[in-house]
Structure 1
Amino acid sequence: MNNNTNYIGKPVNRVDGYAKVTGGAKYAADHHARGLCYGVVVSAGIAKGKILHIDTTEAMQLEGVFKIFTHENVSGLAWFNHSYKDMDAPPGKHFRYLQTDTITYSQQPVALVVAETFELARYAASLVKVTYKADAHVTNLTGNLDQARPPKGKKSGFKKPSSRGHFDKAFTAAPVTLDATYFHGAEHHNPMEMHATTVLYYKNGSITVYDKTQGILNTQSYVKSVFGLSGRKVKALSPFVGGAFGSGLRPQYQLFMAVLASLELKRSVKVMLTRQQMFSLGFRPITQQSLSIGSMEDGSLQAIKHEAVSGTSQFEDYVENIVNWSGMLYHCKNVKQSYQLVSLDTYTPLDMRAPGAVTGMFGLECAMDELAYKLNIDPLELRYINYSVEDGSMKKPYSSKALRDCYQQAAERFGWSQRNPEPRSMKNGHLLTGWGMATGMWDAMTVPARAKATFTADGRLTVGSATADIGTGTYTIMTQIAAETLGLPMDNVTFQLGDASLPYAYLEGGSATAASVGTAVQKACMQVRERLLDLAKDIPDSPFKGLSVAQVSFADGMMFMTETPANFIHLKDIMTLTDTGEINVTSTPLPNVFKQMKYAKNTHAAVFVEVQVDEELGAVKVTRVVSAVAAGRILNPKTARSQIMGGIVWGISGALHEESVLDHQFGRFINHNYAEYHIPVNLDINDIDVIFVEEQDDVVNPMGIKGVGEIGQVGVAAAIANAIYHATGKRIRELPITLDKLL
């Protein structure tokens, strides 16, 4: 028996690739309907205060303008009387648009202009005149650290920092100590596809909502809750997403605006935000963190203190696991952790690729590099010295941890042993070369997910779950899992997602989708296998009578006896001979909680970076990156490598380019466009080498999947900062590292 249906672990091309490159993939703003009208949002021009008056007279005089929605004419919505929480909501009061005359942050939506064309709606929006009474606002984190306080409530996934041992005593006694403070401002997601919602309205009062989202069930739940609609009235779809990186986890305000206008006007409505308005949706929080580390002269860590203060909005407490990594990664008995917030007059920050880890590991891994130089120990050797086989905070062994292999393989590939440790020692003319490294770490999470599978008499399999594909390759890897599990050609398998009518799936984020939905897909297909075997047993003179599902295998569209492969039957023949039209199953995989509770579950990476710094101009170029990643079973090396490469590119971007400039005089991000919010272009990105380190894990989930969406970015900024120090002898502790900080 030649098995040509082994797909898991193979670099299969994206099954949705053709549709995307030919324009067949329809995104949220690509949908149209007869009589479709357009909405344009008017944004607040102050950061804090009151709306005294909104003059819509001139705009409403334009022919083709249907209505202008403001707080003065929007009332009676269900959420005005009931609390609402979306799946990714932090503690606090969910912001309710067009409810009040109070301005809470700059660019807060204050009106929606709806007209028969986009151009007309945009022009009419420019004619809406808003008069404000401005109040004093606070947007400066570092100028208000005295207002720092502990977070209130709990956000999903947030782990309260825990301390252990006696930090003060151990730090005082340590012969070598380090104190350092690190800072980064806001960083915005800026996916290529802007947030958009198209609502199709039908005569019976039902609507179909096409939304840019990372959780279509979250979209549907939001619309039902806010507008008091039943599930039968709201069909929610999001089959394609042009990047999100966390910005699509929560329902954004274009969804509210489009549904509001559609239900009121009884028309189909489209609302798409501008690039400028994308800067009003949330961001990686402004954060200052301080680290104090004490060690023995041999490099063994004796004490770690990691404190962080982040900005949040006035109405919600957004939290991240920033300081926690310092108590987990290295062996140290005395750890002190503190995490506080300062309420600012901005919108609530938002989860952004590897939230908390990108920030916290930047501080920790830069501090470890600084300590290595103080000790005159190789930075890689310092990490070996303090390598831990258990999570120090939870006192649990790791379900798997191949970080040592990551260090070894990446260092060898990079040529780390050839490094001259002396700063400014590797010089070629006016170019200074520097080498740096850092560790990456992220959670290996699983979240609730279900999947359905339908196998039909023509030999085709359709599998579905209400998850998302934000460009990560979900369509492809789920198709691979389903095809291999049932032994079918991939062309015979269709995976469906982005439809709220499909079985439950949590938000697509946290690197949890492959493990969670993948497990559900595999289980659904295993249930189809069981049904096929049961049917085969009913065929007269069947050789499969008395066999269990463990005694049969599936490949090449056939079921056969594992011990005697010559005894086989085509799956289509099973359906035909038993007069079965289709098999339908829905799976609900349950994790082995008692087994998982005994372990810490994480992904790990080792990042090595080479930079060149122009001594005269201060310009930095990342010339080489080698990243070795241990993330359990890799379902598709091609799509997984793309994920790691994307994370590395973003790590370079965050380290050297991205800076949301918050003008405290106006309380507004003033460089809210692609021209002034700098991101890398092709010439900024050079050699990137990704290594997947083999790692077996039977604890995280039955397939041993950990996920790779976040881990690629963690540690990259720290490795770059460390390489820049090696090149220049200048220690920069604030991101991004721009040339003015080096000159």
Structure 2
Amino acid sequence: MSQTIATPPTVRLDSDVVGRPISRPDGPAKVSGSATYAAEFNVPDLWYGYVVSSPIAKGKITKIDTAPVLALPGVKQIFSHENVPTLAWFDRAYKDDVAPGGSPFRPLHDAEILFSQQPVALIIAETFELARYAASILRVEYEVAEHNTDLEKSRGEAFDAPKGKTGFLPPPKPKGDADKAYAEAPHKIQGEYTHHAQHHNPMEMFATTVEWLGDGKKLKIYDKTQGAPNVQQYIAKIFGLSKEEARVISKFTGGGFGSGLRPQHQVFLAVLASLELEHSVRVSLTRSQMFSLGHRPHTIQDIKVSADDQGYLQSLEHNAFAETSQFEDETETVVNWSGILYKTPNSKFDYKLAKLDVDTPADMRAPGAATGSFAIESAIDELSYEAKVDPLQFRLLNYTYEDPTENKPFSSKRLIDCYHEGAARFGWDQRSPEPRSMRDGNMLVGWGMASGCWDASMQKAAAKATLKADGTLTVNSATNDQGAGTYVIMTQMAAQTLGLPMEKVQFNLGDTEYPTAPLQGGSWTANSVGAAVKNACQEVGKKLLKLAQKMDNSPLDGLDFENVQFVNGLIRANEDISKSVAIKDVLQASGEDKIEADGKAGPNPINLQKYSMHSHNASFVEVKVDEDLGTIHVTRVVNAVAAGRIMNPKTARSQVLGGTVWGISMALMEEAYLDNVQGRYMNHNYAEYHIPVNADIHKIDVIFVEEEDDIASPIGVKGVGEIGMLGVAAAVANAVYHATGKRVRELPLTIDKLL
């Protein structure tokens, strides 16, 4: 076995700001309310749209009685399948960047109803209140057809997930004879692990404000999204617009978690109405309607795993069965993580889908991995008890330094350090191994742990840097910030690259007039856009050096770019820092009013072929369970993360805190109740779709294990958005077993499952 050792961190210079816990420059705007979101732009003479949703899950519209509504003073139009013009959209060729296989849903295309809460009409009125009232009295008649929304009853209709969807990896190829090894092993467990649909619930609901500019078809589109360029491409193709005619802006996003990766139907409806009426229009969705925009799919997993008397794995079988819609084949990478985390001589994996009468599921924080890690980490915990080996020791015994699924070395892997540092901080060595053996008064105390693994991937990204004669630097990229801290870490990267103080740097994002950037998702923004920002600033630096060398008696004459450093507003020689020139003096001497440069970045195809690249974490959880009532309290969590170079420990910690809270939420609370008779989610609101409040969350300790990986990305970053959530739900369930002796394999872990 061999372990790839990451390049050690470079020596910190006085002007280094990357790696420091610097506050967000956008923070004051957010807390003061001056940050403007998609539904808050004050566009003159604005009309408002309200979406009418289907009450049935399957069937077709037979009649829409529009006359009484159109007679209301101030109602401008009702759009439905009866009057929507023919669009490029309807040839089924145009998809967004993250669309799965199949045909994307096309709002108001025809009379067919494909899922409950499907938009069936859009009412445009002079005020939001009037549009909402008009929607309440619009009469739509339906012919109801028999529907199926029950995954459990659809096992006989399972089919292999289609290959080819971006981001989906087919299950690993089998190794050895898993069935024989399982049958012969002295210690074995088999279990079915389930969670039902879970819904994104960002604070900001989806909305689009379209400003009609009155110049041909020119529009300015303010949209709630995780990627303005993706929305622009989607809108431009559907409506036959140029990029100049469809400018998309998204400066602030009030949470997305994957729900904003795909353009949602309100942006299509708002643009449609604006173009048809030649007027500015805003369409906002309600909280209830947010439950019709994709979800983490209901998934059933079956795991068979075995070990020898020493605790070494002998076999691993991991199968998953998930839902998709009737019109798209939504796929997730669910079972692969088991094979990446653990070495075993015998393994086999499978992943299947069933088509239901629901809207297409969607990527939701750590898609696939959050589902898969709950199952495998619960199963590994069960097997450790069966083999009478401490759960942490069991994982250490089966640790792998290479990716068994691809037979590649990891670009870096510090999971073993996550185990050791997390266990030491948590006090794992004080754990009493027997279930129900630890108490605090009437509370049963349980300690559990679990692991996580997520891809460290890069995407193509671009940025533009402009250094002005007054010494200020502006960097633009069309990337997004849904709350992860993009504004601050890109400002840090730009400031450090050119050795400027933070207050002299401004980073702008979320506008399709800026250089293109990928969707904010997959934990790839920091490394992808960060590398592009660095490259753009370095190109400015190269131009600066050339100008500095033209100055009279330049102390930098003859030096290559690699032989100088940009520190504290100076360009100085590496070998003799007394040889320096102030950046502001270079600009003044040159007579240039500004220096501009573009930068691009993308994945290294050679590294992709040679290495397996992932971030890792280990979660340690303490729960206290009331012995009489069965109520569960997560009282303490330690989450140790190895995610490459941490650009800003403050914002990165916030990401891991948020992921940890979501893992607790997934374990104990989140579940959409699907009434299969109605084919509808019944708890589509904040009152009944339970998520944590302050009283549910106690001490969370975040550890960043030192790791820098120049193979995974040229700036050593892997990303933290996804990894902080992984393993947490399983660690909670494992802690509950340790506390109570009751193993629960279905999430959420509610009181009734302990009684």
TM-score (norm 2): 0.97
Alignment of 1:317-716 (within 5 A): 317-716=329-728
| Equivalent in the alignment of 2:6 | none
For residue 157 of structure 2, the aligned residue among 131, 147, 154 is 147
SS of the residue aligned with 2:453? strand
Q: Distance in 1 between matches of 2:163 and 2:615?
A: 28
Instruction: State the 1:737 CA deviation.
Output: 0.4
Cα distance between partner residues in 2 of 1:149 and 1:125: 40
Q: Distance in 2 between matches of 1:174 and 1:372?
A: 14
Given that residues 3 and 555 in structure 1 are in contact (C-alpha distance below 8 angstroms), is that contact kept between their aligned partners in structure 2?
A: yes
Work out the CA distance in 1 between the residues paired with 2:602 and 2:727.
33
> Take 1:563 and 1:535, find their aligned partners in 2: how far apart are those partners?
20
Paired with 2:549 and 2:579, the residues of 1 have a C-alpha distance of 13
Whether 1:213 aligns to 2:225 is: yes
2:67 corresponds to which letter in structure 1? T
SS in 2 for 1:526: helix
Query: Once the two structures are superposed, what CA deviation does each residue of 1:616-643 show, in whole Å capped at 9, x if it has no partner?
Result: 1111000000011000100000000000
How far is the alpha carbon of 1:500 from its aligned partner?
0.8
Bigger mean CA offset, 728-737 vs 694-703: 694-703
Give the letter aligned to residue 53 of structure 1. Answer: K
RMSD: 1.0
**Unaligned runs of at least 5 residues, structure 1:** none
The offset of 1:153, in angstroms, is 4.2
Cα deviation for residue 294 of structure 1 reads: 1.5
Structure-2 separation of matches of 1:16 and 1:509: 20
The residue aligned with 1:229 is 241
C-alpha separation in 2, matches of 1:546 and 1:363: 61
Distance in 2, Cα, partners of 1:332 & 1:561: 53
Alignment deviations for residues 135-186 of structure 1 (CA, whole Å, 9 cap, x no partner): 1100010111111111234210110002222212222221211100000000
Q: 2:197 aligns with which of 174, 183, 186?
A: 186
Aligned-partner residue type, residue 177 of structure 1: K
Indicate conservation of the 8 Å contact 1:454/1:583, yes or no.
yes
How far 1:429 sits from its partner (Å)? 3.2
Pairing 1:221-300 to 2, within 5 Å after superposition: 221-300=233-312
AA aligned to 1:436 is G
| Residue pair 1:596, 1:699 contacting (<8 A) in 2 also | no
The question of 1:302 aligning with 2:308 is answered no
Q: CA deviation at 1:231?
A: 1.4
CA distance in 1, matches of 2:709, 2:269: 46
CA contact (8 A) 2:54 2:120 kept: yes
Identity %: 55
Q: Secondary structure at the match of 1:454?
A: strand
1:160 aligns with 2:170: yes
Is the CA contact (8 Å cut-off) linking 2:316 and 2:348 kept in structure 1?
yes
Contact kept? 2:708, 2:717, Cα under 8 Å: no
Take 1:3 and 1:508, find their aligned partners in 2: how far apart are those partners? 30
Q: Which residue of 2 aligns with 1:30?
A: 40
Segments of 4+ moved more than 4 angstroms: none
**Separation in structure 2 between the aligned mates of residue 313 and residue 251 of structure 1, nearest angstrom:** 17
Q: Does the 8 Å CA contact 1:67/1:114 hold for their aligned counterparts?
A: yes
The letter of the residue matching 1:628 is A
2:45 match: secondary structure: coil
The residue number in structure 2 matching 1:93 is: 103
TM-superposed deviation, 1:5: 2.4
2:19 match = 9
- What amino acid does structure 2 have at the position aligned with 1:103? I
Q: Does 2:713 match 1:737?
A: no
SS in 2 for 1:510: coil
Q: State the Cα distance separating 1:82 from its structure 2 match.
A: 5.7
Q: Residue 50 of structure 1 aligns with which residue?
A: 60
Task: Look up the match of 1:109.
Answer: 119
Instruction: Give the Cα–Cα distance (whole angstroms) in 1 for the partners of residues 164 and 31 of structure 2.
Output: 42
Tell me how far apart the structure 1 counterparts of residues 338 and 589 of structure 2 sit (CA, whole Å): 62
Q: Which moved more, 1:495-504 or 1:77-86?
A: 77-86
Residue of structure 1 equivalent to 2:86: 76
Query: Quick one: distance in 1 between partners of 2:499 and 2:621?
Result: 42
* 1:292-321 deviation digits (Å, cap 9, x = unpaired): 012111111111000000000000000111
The whole-number CA distance in structure 2 between the counterparts of 1:616 and 1:465 is 56
Instruction: Measure the CA separation in 1 of the matches of 2:60 and 2:608.
Output: 51
Distance 2:754 2:178 in 1: 34
Query: Aligned with 2:160: secondary structure?
Result: coil
Counterpart AA for 2:180: K
The amino acid of 1:197's aligned partner reads T
Deviation at 1:3, TM superposition (A): 5.8
Q: Which of residues 119, 124, 129 in structure 2 aligns to 1:119?
A: 129
Q: 2:182 aligns with which of 135, 156, 171?
A: 171
CA contact (8 A) 1:451 1:521 kept: yes
> Where do 5+ consecutive residues of structure 2 fail to align?
1-11
Code of the aligned partner of 2:44: R
